[in-house]
Structures are given as structure tokens and as C-alpha cells.
Amino acid sequence: MAFAPGKVILFGEHAVVYGRPAIAVPVTQVGARVTVERGVGGILVQAKDLGLSHTMGELPVDEALEPVVSLVESALEYLGVRLPPPLVITITSTIAMARGLGSGAAVSTALVRGLGEHFGRELSPEEVSALVYEAEKFHHGTPSGIDNTVISYGHPIYFVRGEPPQTFKVGKPFLLAIGDSGVKSPTKVVVEEVRRRWEKEPSRYEPLFDQIGQVVERAKEEMEGGNLEGLGSLMDENQALLRDLGVSSPQLDDLVKVAREAGALGAKLSGAGRGGSVIALIEERTREAVTTALERGGVQGVITTEVSS
């Protein structure tokens, strides 16, 4: 049995696809769990939350299970299991789909780890991340690689596409309130739309990506120094830039405003945008007020998580 957490991007979404840095952190309050057991007759993959099951080798493959089936094949090949015994692979998850919490990457990470453990291989975070990245292409088309990286490592990550990821220490643990807007936001769709607009007007979007990258650099310094007020201000600045990119929405803007007015030090959307989740930097003394405000603002649920090294 293997577990993988969810994640949120703190800073740098979208710009990270274009070579700028981003920061992401794991969210251990939610996650995906995979069990791998001996079976009878073939490899059965079942996603209990979706009510789906599939015996590998049979056609057709349900679209929701296609990336999972493909990953099982590639993971077994990587593990050197050429004639796999009958297996039952069971997937469960508490991560809401298409909300910016890394549901696909978490399932894939737990799956790879579960297969590795079943066949007596303890895979490194680098190995897991590389395998999961291939599965991420099903979900996101041209993924940056940040989701599979932060979930595989399980620590705060400073990430630049194409470079080795950097884990770093947080100078002072801090709290995030994560509000589910209730609106699904498929990352692939929003990322492709941004790409089309960037291709049409690179002179407009490149400076925005540069500014987001600069915010990320400053945010890393504030996190390492434990300056929460500075970190909150940078969240607000990043949100304004995401709004300029056209990936926010009136609902997300309202939720950000609600959180700030309730005492959050900063707030922004997290992930692709147009829906998904908002994150707010809170203190213990403002936890209840911000959570209540977000709930009254219409979110479907609030998760509070501590970010530390």
C-alpha cells in the first residue's frame, strides 16, 4: 500500500510552463492511496471513487483510466517485470478532481510507489517523478512537471522546468486555508488557452511571466526568512498578475477579497485558474474567521494545512 499527498502551487503557476520559477508545497490532509495485491487472471485496475474497473489487455479502455493503465505498463517495464503475475490494483483518493490540488499526479505517484513496493523496489523521488511526469501528459498536455515533483518529494519545492528541483527550508511554519470554489477547472484546457494567447501576443505575455518569476524569487526569500507579512503581500501581487493573464474569474476574485477582508495576510488562486481552489495565508488567530468567511462566500469546503520544512 502506498500514499501520496495533494499539493498547491503557492507562486508561479502558468509562468512556470515558460521557464520561470514556481514554488509548490504538499498538502497532506488529502491524498491518494493505492493497494497492489495478488489477483486471479490478469491485472485488474479499479478506481473505487469513480466506480470504474478495467482488466488490462481488454478494449476499450475508459478515458478516465487510460492514463492509469498506461502508467501501470510503463512502471512494470521500468521495474523489469516482463511477465507480471495477476494483480488487483485498487485506487482511492480524497482529492477533489480539477481543483488545482494535484489529484492526477497524486494517484500516479501512489500507483508507482505501490507497484515498486509490491515488487521489492524502493524507488527514489527522482525515479517516481520521472515516471509520473509521463502520465501527467494525459492530464495536462504540456505539463511543467511541478505537480509530479512536489508530490514525489513531499517537501516545499522551488522548481524551474528542465532544471533539478530544489527543496528548501521554511524559516517559520505557516498556515494555509485552501478553499474549493466548486468549479472544475481542467488544467489542460486553461494551459492551452494561455499558450494560444501567448503565441498570438508574446510581447504582452512575456513581461507578465517575467514579473511572476520575480515574485517567486522574492517569495522564496520571504519563506526562508519567515517573513509572513511579506509573503502575504507577494500572494496578492501574484494574484493581480494572474488576473492580468486572464486566468482568474469574478468568483475567484471575490473569494480572494473575502479572505483578505476576514484577516488573511494574502490570498490568490492556486493552479490553472478559472475555477479550482483559492489559498489564503492565515494565522492561528484568524483561522476561524477566514474559514467562516470563505464558507459564507460559497466555497464547497476549506482545508487548513501547515507548511513547514
Q: Give the strand pairing for 87-93 and 22-38.
A: antiparallel
- The C-alpha cell of 206 is what? 512575456
**9 membership: H or E segment, kind and range:** strand 2-11
Helices 250-261, 228-245: inter-axial angle, 10-degree rounding: 160
Dist CA 230 CA 232 (whole Å): 5
Q: Is 253 annotated as catalytic?
A: no
Q: Which of 147, 180, 236, 254 is catalytic?
A: 147
CA dihedral (211, 217, 220, 226) positive or negative: negative
Nearest alpha-carbon partner for 295 in 278, 281, 283, 282: 278
- Chain centroid to Cα 19, Å, comes to 18
Kindly report each contact of residues 259-262 with a partner whose C-beta sits within 8 Å and lies 24 or more positions away, as own/partner: 259/177, 259/179, 259/290, 259/293, 259/294, 260/236, 261/293, 262/286, 262/289, 262/290, 262/292, 262/293, 262/294
User: What are the residue numbers of the active site?
Assistant: 147
